[in-house]
Amino acid sequence: MKEKVGTLLSDSKAARWIALALIASTMFFAYYFVDVVAPLQKLLETDYKWTPEVFGMLGGSEFFLNVFAFFLILSGIILDKMGIRFSLIMAGLTMVIGASLKFYALTPAFAASGLAASLGSFIVYIPATAKLAFVGFAIFGVGVEMAGITVSKTIVKWFRGKEMALAMGLEMAVARLGVFAVFRLTPIFAESGGAVNSVRMGVAFLCIGFLTFLIYTFMDRKLDKQLGEQNSGEEPEEEFKISDLKKIFTNPGFLAIAGLCVLFYSAIFPFQKFATDMLASKLNIDIKTAAAYVSYFPIGAMILTPFMGYFLDVKGKGASMMLYGAILLTVSHLIFALVPADVFNVPIALITIVILGTAFSLVPASMWPSLPKIVEDRYLGSAYGSIFWIQNIGLLAVPILIGWALNASNPGVSEQIAAGITTVQYNYTVPELIFAGFGVLAFFLSIVLKRIDKKHKYGLELPNKQK
């Protein structure tokens, strides 16, 4: 029998939690930039003449290249073929480049350039600033989604058989803290320099995040060297093949989780982009106060997600958690949609935000650790890439749908706001009913997932931690 190398770096609690802290820090800054202009919808409407439809297109543009150019599928293949270190560096650089382009789109220098004049000459109802921002955000989207799937596979690498769901929960909690920060900090940055200053700070944060990815790669190299020594002389593991994509897309468990993923995230991330203006309109309060209330949404998820992860590690019940999360998701959006404005007040708003935050902790905390139970390690990266690609289809289409629905259900309001009339407000009933509809569909699909799990014995209800 071959003697194994000594203790692996991943066997050290300190080392694996340091590794997690490094990659989670980058995702904090990435999630900050995802929603960097979310609290500034009205400011962009008045200063840059962006209608709700244009604002919705900006949210959808993040996912354009991932969906239509299949960059997420490609990202998963790159991850499985080229490894974690290469993928992290590529993801970090792509995020910084795309974010910098989005920042440039909002600067006076771009407005005075020939490029702005050229971009403004076609599809004239979309400002040139928005068109360039779309391009930058689409490039950023390639990087952030590649980072997401790579971080997921990295956590599996360091925590399999240990505290995997807890680690994923903590990583998501730190990322959610980035969402909290954006709703707190972006309005402050905008007060001292407009929307362009808020985006500038987001780019600076991403540069810090790239450095934390870079530092992690040294730890990853050492672990890979140990794993290579440990596995020397053994039969090499079968490598990923393009044909493995067929196995992924014909796996019923994968398809059910992918469906849940797109439905659930379509009712969360697009909501975040419109939530500040929705609360400001419904409560008749200023944007800065509304953004402060919305910031409590990721706080609830941030606090609860690690506990949910720990519960999954020691007790299981992953499929059941997705079912409960879908119920809470539906209830919260129905409250936002159906409670009349004269009854809807700050306590109701905060309670509803907490309910939504709880749903946001239940589903992702149980969803991402469940995927390694369903697919093989050699194509786990491609499975994460594929599920993110399916998710991105919803995240591309839904913000555009919500922007259109908001404009169509509030005729004339956009024109009045653009003209400087500050007393008019949007009614968000129709968009919130759309979000609630996604929750209802997720509820029924989670029941289907439980049946699939029982039939195929994936073990989604079993604990992750090996005794």
Gap between the Cα atoms of 348 and 333, Å rounded: 12
Gap between the Cα atoms of 107 and 48, Å rounded: 11
Lowest mean pLDDT of 187-196, 242-251, 279-288, name the range.
242-251
Give 4-26 pLDDT, tens digit per residue: 455 889 889 999 999 999 999 99
**How deeply is 127 buried, as exposed, middle or buried, from its count of CB atoms within 10 A (0-12, 13-18, 19+)?**
buried
Give 420-439 pLDDT, tens digit per residue: 787 888 999 999 999 999 99
Q: How many CB atoms lie within 10 A of CB 235?
A: 6
Gap between the Cα atoms of 419 and 413, Å rounded: 10
**How deeply is 246 buried, as exposed, middle or buried, from its count of CB atoms within 10 A (0-12, 13-18, 19+)?**
exposed
When computed from its CA atoms, the radius of gyration of the chain, rounded to whole angstroms, is 22
Domains of the chain: 13-228+242-456 (1.20.1250.20)
CB 161 within 8 A of CB 12: no
Gap between the Cα atoms of 310 and 167, Å rounded: 9
Question: Which residues are CB-contacts of 54 (< 8 A; sequence separation ≥ 6)?
Answer: 125, 126, 127, 130, 403
**How deeply is 457 buried, as exposed, middle or buried, from its count of CB atoms within 10 A (0-12, 13-18, 19+)?**
exposed
Q: Give backbone dihedrals phi and psi of 330, rounded to 5 degrees, phi first.
A: -65, -45
CB 321 within 8 A of CB 260: no
Confidence of residue 364 (pLDDT cuts 50, 70, 90): confident
Lowest mean pLDDT of 46-55, 209-218, 224-233, 280-289, name the range.
224-233
Distance between alpha carbon 142 and the CA centroid of its chain, in Å?
12
pLDDT at 456 over 50: yes
Gap between the Cα atoms of 236 and 243, Å rounded: 19
pLDDT at 302 over 80: no
Q: How many CB atoms lie within 10 A of CB 116?
A: 18
Residue 187 one-letter amino acid: P
Gap between the Cα atoms of 95 and 117, Å rounded: 26
